[in-house]
Amino acid sequence: MDQLQLTDFDVDQQLLSLPGVSLLIFTSVGCASCRWAKDQLPKQSLPIDRLCWIDAEENGGAVQRYGVFHLPSLFVVRDGEFYGALRSTMSADAIIIGLDQALSRAPEELP
């Protein structure tokens, strides 16, 4: 599974141009759940093409635009279309269910 580190400067451009399903994850080094996610999510068999990481401490513009209120925060993008927040626990099964639910909704505009 591919992994990208995104910033305020390239998050929208990258997400609009990437094919397939991307899971955008806002994290912070001071967050224990975020450290667990960065370690464990790449090892899980998720039906996505890539994990896109964004450091919430360093990228306040993206945090504000995406309405991030807690960490880690996950968002779903497929083929340049935004499917909103993924609300689930960090288990592979819960994420897969959340992805199915998110991708069954109509896409929205990127924030």
What digits encode the pLDDT tens for the residues 69-79? Answer: 999 999 999 99
How many residues in total does the chain contain?
111
Strands 50-55 and 81-86, by their bridges, are unpaired
Residue with tokens 């912070």: 28
73-96 pLDDT per residue, tens:
999 999 999 999 999 999 999 999
Mean pLDDT of 18-31: 97
| 2-104 classified as CATH 3.40.30.10 | yes
* Two structure tokens written together for 41: 């999510």
Q: What is the pLDDT of the chain when averaged over all its residues? A: 96
- Report yes or no: 75 and 51 within 8 Å, Cβ to Cβ: no
Q: For residue 15, what pLDDT is reported?
A: 94
Other residues' Cβ atoms within 10 Å of the Cβ of residue 11: 22
**pLDDT for residue 108:** 93
Q: How confident is the model at residue 110 (pLDDT cuts 50, 70, 90)?
A: confident
pLDDT of residue 13: 94
Q: How confident is the model at residue 62 (pLDDT cuts 50, 70, 90)?
A: very high
Q: Could you give the maximum distance between any two Cα atoms of the chain, in Å?
A: 34
Given a contact cutoff of 8 angstroms between Cβ atoms, the answer to whether 77 and 22 are in contact is: yes
State residue 1's pLDDT score. Answer: 86
